[in-house]
Structure 1
Amino acid sequence: MESTQGLPLEVRLSAYLDGQLPEAEVEEINAILAGDDEARVVYEKLKLGSEFGARAFDRMLQDPIPLDLVRNIKEAGRNEDDPSKLGFAAVPAAEIPANRRSAFWPQALSASLVIFLAGGAAGYLISEQKQTSFQAASNQFAPARTWLDDVAEYHRIYSRQARHLVEVPASESGHIVDWLSASTGVPFALPDLSAQKLTFEGARLLVAGGKPTAQLLYRDAENEIFAICFLQSEPVEGTTPLAESMRNDIGLVTWQKGKASYVVVGPSADPDLERIAEVVSANI
């Protein structure tokens, strides 16, 4: 068994599949496959291609031989028995090179190997095409991701922060308004939600749907975190109706006004979430 050190990973994995590696390299490949996700993907594709090629070769051997080919083989055999039909004088058997009749077998073996490798390559390409087609089909039928998905994920992370809940604290309210208005392109006023028993904690700048997005964070008496997020969007006339949705345990109430989209985010079980959104919509 020859070493494959220094050769491309695909070559080494092919030799590994065929059992053609020294024991030390087998252990090395085992370690690579255990710790490298990409190597495992390549290995599985090569394995699938090899199995496909082997099955294709087996089926080829099981197929009936075409009648024309049988007739040609028989005709060639009769011609060999009668050299005069081949157009040259008979040669004494003693003068025929010893390796003449065995030369067919290396050629047949080489042809078989080429067919096997071609089948393996075809299997690899077919598996690659199937995976690409499956991913394309999955993307086609998967629901389109929106900025609200990003907002929900941010809220799930930041609502669990204690010391680092906000980027700029509530004590810098004036700076928050100037900073987020300039960053998002959406002018706004900080909503006072004290009547809803929510305390303003501060703000962050996010990226949602590929756009700069403001996040204003509030806390209630039970330490639950609520957020108001907004970004620039396609302009609409007036204000759209409030719309509720959920992302697992997170509730969202959304609307659009002018050239901005807004959402109030909080626990999905909170019965006052829509009422909070109504107050925000009227005052932001």
Structure 2
Amino acid sequence: MNSDDYDSSLPEGLDLRALSAYVDGELPGAERAAIEAQLAQHPQAAARVAAWRAQKAALRALCGAPQRSERDERHERDERHEREAADEPAFIVLRRRTPWWQRAGVAACWLAAGAGLALALGPLAPRLTGGAWGGLGGSPPSFAERADIAYAVYTPERRHPVEVAANEEEHLINWLSKRLNRPLSVPSLQEYGYSLVGGRLLPGEAGPAAQFMYENTSGARLTLYVTGISRDETAFRLFRDGNRRTFYWVNDGMGYALSGPIAEGKLRTIAIDVCSALGGKPESWQ
């Protein structure tokens, strides 16, 4: 194994090159199945794979590419592998694989550029296009989708999951309230065994957003995403992505999204209490 493929945080038998090829759909069936079996036994490696997939999804959304389900990608890989097995080439072309860190760096640059462009042009675009602009490649991702992506990207982090830690909660609330231009509060989830880890500032659809992160004693995490929103929505809805679930709602010009991989019924119960604590009216939800 090359030195740039080694990561001490990964279990034996899993390296960054193999995980990168797995995420990109470049592994044959047997190797892919072996990786999936190892990921099922190693949550930290599985979380890293989920974060990479979330980055790919964010990049595709910002560039307007159509979203594809995991089943579609698996079907495409299977068809490609069948074609490769049927067509025996008379020669082999050897290509140098682009290192995973180069691909990740390019994706991160595009993601940052897209987020900056959306923030810069968001307020001006409706006036420039007569109100017909809907973001890059059509309607921009909803705040619930952004909340889900932010959950997948930041919750696997162990050393730097937040920008401001919970021991500076007053500063955290004042800072994010100022940036969102709205008084914010952080609901307590101690009743459910979750303590505040801290929070961070994120780009929203048309302005800043805040993410508050919670963690229980076993290390499981929930996030509360908050952003200003102009749409008038009163429904309480559920967004799913793999094993992650996000309950989201709008109240008084603010969008809220509670994300986590826990059971749907439990997450809904927590979301109802969070809504009440933030001044919402969950009793109006159908």
Tell me the TM-score range normalised by the shorter chain: 0.3 to 0.5
Q: Based on CA coordinates, which of the two structures has the bigger radius of gyration?
A: 1
Query: Which has a greater percent of helix?
Result: 1
With the length of structure 2 as denominator, give the TM-score of the two structures: 0.47
